[in-house]
Amino acid sequence: MPNTFRGGIHPEDKKKYTEKKRIEVLAVEPEELIFPLLQHTGAPAKPIVAVGDYVQAGQKIAEAAGPLSANIHTGVSGTVKEIVLMETAGGPADPCIIIENDRQHTLREGVCKKAKLELVTNQQIIEKIRESGVIGLGGGGTPTDTKILAGIGTVDTVIVNGAECEPYSTSDHALILAESDKILAGLLLLIRLYEVKSGIIAIEANKPDAIKRISHKIAKFPQIKLHVLRTKYPQGSEKQLIKAVVNREVPPGGLPADIGCAVFNVATSLAIYEAIVENKPLYERVVTVSGKTVANQKNLKVPFGTPVHTLLEACGGLKEDPYKIILGGPMMGITVPSTNVPVTKGTSTVLVYSRPEETFEENPICIRCAHCVDVCPMRLMPLYLNQAAEKNQKDRLTKLHLHDCIECGSCSYICPAKIPLVQTFRAAKAKSGTKGGL
């Protein structure tokens, strides 16, 4: 039997709605696209276009403002209409570039023209990854070039993460089926950059067609191994994945590179390949649009900046008024204020809830059952963290290792009192300036 990690839960995966749906391209692109300048872990990117400028698909419109910042490119051609503060998934006043789409899709010169990889050095590959704006597309948001550079010389194990444990989400699954050759080629590039002998692609057992596809493809690549994972949440978290795949544990406050590992989402592996071999910057991604109230749930390939309402229209609209719209899955996603919020690099799923699906409880009371402790994959004490957060006991939160919480939501899911534990921990981290998540 394969290894696994301590804790975790087994929520109904809800993937049946889209797991058999092939990737579709938007039939009608939006008239306007909104590009938040903060789509990564570092400082907001700096605009390098001005109002009135004409831009082409694949053109860089904002430049990285530091090592944890990332370039932003447009996937459409058109005219820069505004550079303003807008409400996005990241907050009520994010700086954004708005582009009026001419729907001509005029490509920037050189974009999507294949390169001769044998003439490219490792340093040029890393520089190209940075120039192309590639970041961790599994939700981490760390610029990929920074992650690679930090691990060269210490990493001996490279893992491509195809677990996709979040309920409803099937965008990674769809990518594996549609782009397996390119994903594996991206892994081969990572093996080359880290100068390791082999790499691993890890997929949960609930994706048998993806497992079959990869098993067939890697027959000609002895340096790539497939690891089939038990289906459990949050298997897609880097630390839990590493434990399940190679039985190593990232120390508290540490990073995967500290124990010789580097983990990349399948969409990131694809983006690496496209940046290096196809000269294609990161300007679009596959997004799962799901929820019972969505008329025709789909996996859609969309350019960044596309408003959520455009995706919902492409799915035939909604059967009833939505109660809640979430970017990401139900466990770790963020509720957004309107359908005008755009898709960004980190948007893997748009989930629409109807009112009957709401599980909110007013004035919940902890019964000290300790189920949250049992399921916490980071071995934390959520019930005590909740007490300390409610009382704003900063020193106690530090002693209880709040910073190690990955915000997976397992504790909130299992709580019989329906206490919104993970939301409390996010708020506590925001007050202390601590960032978290998978």
Report d(CA 170, CA 157) in Å as an integer: 26
The residue to which tokens 């919902």 are assigned = 312
pLDDT in tens, 364-376: 899 999 999 999 9
Residue boundaries of the structural domains of the chain:
15-20+111-277, 371-432
Residue 1 in this model has a pLDDT that exceeds 60? no
What pLDDT is stored for residue 435 in this prediction? Answer: 54
Taking residues 1-8, what's their average pLDDT?
77
Residue 433 in this model has a pLDDT that exceeds 70? no
pLDDT tier at 437, thresholds 50, 70, 90: low
Residue 117 in this model has a pLDDT that exceeds 80? no
Lowest mean pLDDT, pick from 77-91, 106-120, 169-183: 106-120
CATH fold of 15-20+111-277: Rossmann fold (3.40.50)
> What are the angstrom distances between the C-alpha of 394 and each of 104, 175, 384, 385, 388?
54, 42, 12, 10, 7
Closest CA to 343 of 301, 297, 313, 292: 301
**How confident is the prediction for the chain on average, in pLDDT?**
93
pLDDT tier at 438, thresholds 50, 70, 90: low
pLDDT tier at 434, thresholds 50, 70, 90: low
Taking residues 107-129, what's their average pLDDT?
88
User: Which 8-state DSSP code applies to residue 251?
Assistant: P
Report d(CA 179, CA 285) in Å as an integer: 12
What pLDDT is stored for residue 88 in this prediction? Answer: 86
Taking residues 323-351, what's their average pLDDT?
94
What pLDDT is stored for residue 83 in this prediction? Answer: 97
What pLDDT is stored for residue 375 in this prediction? Answer: 97
Residue 2 in this model has a pLDDT that exceeds 70? no
